[in-house]
């Protein structure tokens, strides 16, 4: 056996091999691989066309695809030559009763083997004979296919910024690994320095919760959180605070072309739906709208400015959640309820029942009832409607709405008054505290009686507490023997 026989058996792939043979090598399109483009497809998008246009060479494009291409590249995507939009010819295809393209003269249906021609002046399309030039239908030879040229969608370009865009298929393990990686990466110091801290909502006596924000425990267990050492009370949402002060019902009058209808709103039980309807009425949102749906012995529906049943927005601009109450049911005539397209999709549309509909409970939010104007409601029910669309044949119009009682304004005023009272109380307590602190400091300060050394000594007190001098009455008795005191333990006379 010769030496160096395995010299070229390398355990790695070189750059040249990777580029020209393996991963980096694009597979060439063989010339024999012919793919036929259907005649009713755009040569650029390779999809069925809607607004067919063609070049003087007879290459068909869709108007919505070729115009952006010409604006960006200015070339023919098939041949790569220069192309202008004014040179395009609009095609007028004729269709038979089955919706298929056919020749308007011979009435023969076009197929992929039909020779199709067009009049350059009118754009009308006719049948000629069997095709002889198949190059214009060969997708493999298209210039934009071979060079991979396309007009990118702005949304697609934005999506490419995401690193996961280029991952075509991933299994569950890969997705979990990437999710863990993204989670760990958020804790990076550089990223943490650029993250904006959420602004803490100010709390007071009204909206302070009995639980904390949890930032202390979160910062202790997560490296992505900024360390926090002080517990702060969480803030209750404004709606929760406001709705706790709503104790009354609302009253609204609807002025229609069939009469007035008085409504009582259950604002104390379903505050969200009640506020939405009240605010929209005060805003004039319902003025001039029509009741677009009416079914006898069932209900009448309105509240859509478009009059189609597909429009309408809530007062907040987005759908709000359902509010189901066990004591509110679609029982009786004149029940006011929210119309929706599914769970938690309430907007502006509402309906009034003509009879009991208990099967609508827990599907639609009941938020009021009719308390006056049943004659107008009966007049609306008597108007005939189209059996296919349920649209009244004669217009039932809501001219305007008048709000008599708005409990939400009263609740807002009460909350504002309580907060103002609380602020005044805090200011008063702060003033009393500062005054008491000043008095305490003044009392604790030592009193001066004179200048110089001993200025804090009271001369009156010092003279009254001075000890008198002892007179000399003879020799000192300090040397005399002191009498020894008796101790109880050494005396046994009582025994």
The residues annotated with a catalytic role in the active site are 293, 298, 301, 340, 351, 360, 364
Q: Pick from 221, 39, 68: which is nearest to 137 by CA?
A: 39
How many angstroms separate the CA atoms of 276 and 426, rounded? 35
CA dihedral for 308, 313, 318, 323, sign (positive or negative): negative
Widest pairwise Cα distance in the chain: 165
Provide the pairing of β-strand 397-405 with 250-256.
antiparallel
DSSP H/E element including 416: helix 407-444
b/e sequence 236-257, b meaning 16+ C-beta within 10 Å: beeeeebbebbeebbbbbbbbe
For the record, the structure tokens of 316 come out as: 């907040």
For residue 260, give the 3-state DSSP assignment.
Answer: strand
Contact call for residues 392 and 382 (beta carbons, < 8 A): no
Q: What angle do CA 155, 148, 32 make, to 5 degrees?
A: 140
How many angstroms separate the CA atoms of 301 and 386, rounded? 14
For the record, the structure tokens of 244 come out as: 């706790």
DSSP state of 457: S
For the record, the structure tokens of 192 come out as: 């943490």
């Amino acid at each position: 056996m010769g030496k160096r026989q395995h010299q070229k058996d390398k355990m790695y792939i070189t750059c040249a091999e990777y580029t020209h043979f393996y991963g980096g090598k694009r597979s060439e399109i063989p010339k024999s691989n012919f793919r036929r483009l259907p005649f009713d497809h755009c040569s650029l998008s390779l999809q069925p066309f809607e607004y067919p246009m063609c070049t003087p060479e007879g290459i068909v494009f869709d108007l919505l695809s070729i115009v952006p291409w010409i604006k960006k590249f200015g070339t023919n995507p098939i041949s790569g030559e220069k192309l202008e939009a004014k040179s395009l010819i609009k095609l007028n295809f004729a269709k038979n009763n089955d919706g298929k393209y056919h020749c308007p003269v011979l009435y023969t249906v076009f197929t992929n083997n039909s020779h199709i021609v067009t009049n350059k002046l009118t754009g009308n399309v006719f049948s000629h004979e069997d095709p002889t030039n198949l190059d214009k239908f060969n997708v493999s030879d298209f210039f934009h296919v071979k060079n991979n040229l396309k007009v990118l969608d702005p949304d697609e370009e934005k999506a490419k910024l995401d690193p996961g865009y280029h991952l075509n298929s991933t299994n569950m393990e890969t997705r979990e690994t990437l999710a863990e990686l993204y989670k760990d990466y958020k804790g990076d110091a550089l990223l943490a320095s650029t993250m904006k801290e959420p602004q803490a909502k100010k709390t007071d006596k009204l909206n302070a919760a009995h639980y904390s924000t949890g930032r202390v425990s979160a910062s202790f267990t997560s490296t992505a959180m900024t360390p926090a050492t002080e517990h702060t009370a969480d803030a209750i949402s404004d709606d929760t605070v406001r709705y706790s002060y709503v104790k009354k019902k609302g009253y609204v009058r609807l002025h229609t072309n069939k009469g007035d209808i008085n409504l009582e709103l259950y604002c104390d039980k379903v505050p969200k739906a009640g506020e939405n309807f009240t605010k929209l009425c005060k805003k004039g949102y319902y003025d001039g709208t029509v009741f677009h749906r009416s079914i006898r012995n069932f209900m009448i529906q309105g509240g859509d400015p478009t009059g189609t049943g597909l429009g309408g927005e809530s007062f907040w601009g987005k759908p709000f959640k359902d509010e189901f109450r066990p004591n509110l049911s679609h029982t009786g005539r004149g029940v006011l309820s929210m119309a929706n397209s599914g769970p938690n999709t309430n907007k502006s549309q509402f309906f009034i029942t003509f009879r009991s509909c208990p099967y609508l409970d827990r599907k639609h939010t009941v938020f009021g009832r009719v308390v006056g104007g049943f004659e107008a409601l009966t007049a609306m029910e008597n108007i005939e409607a189209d059996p296919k669309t349920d649209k009244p044949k004669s217009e039932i119009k809501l001219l305007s709405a008048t709000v008599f009682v708005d409990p939400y304004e009263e609740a807002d005023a009460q909350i504002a008054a309580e907060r103002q009272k609380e602020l005044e109380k805090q200011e008063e307590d702060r003033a009393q505290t500062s005054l008491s602190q000043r008095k305490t400091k003044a009392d604790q300060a030592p009193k001066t009686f004179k200048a110089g050394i001993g200025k804090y000594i009271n001369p009156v007190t010092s003279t009254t507490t001075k000890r008198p001098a002892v007179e000399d009455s003879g020799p000192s008795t300090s040397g005399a023997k002191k009498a020894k005191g008796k101790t109880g333990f050494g005396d046994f006379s009582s025994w």
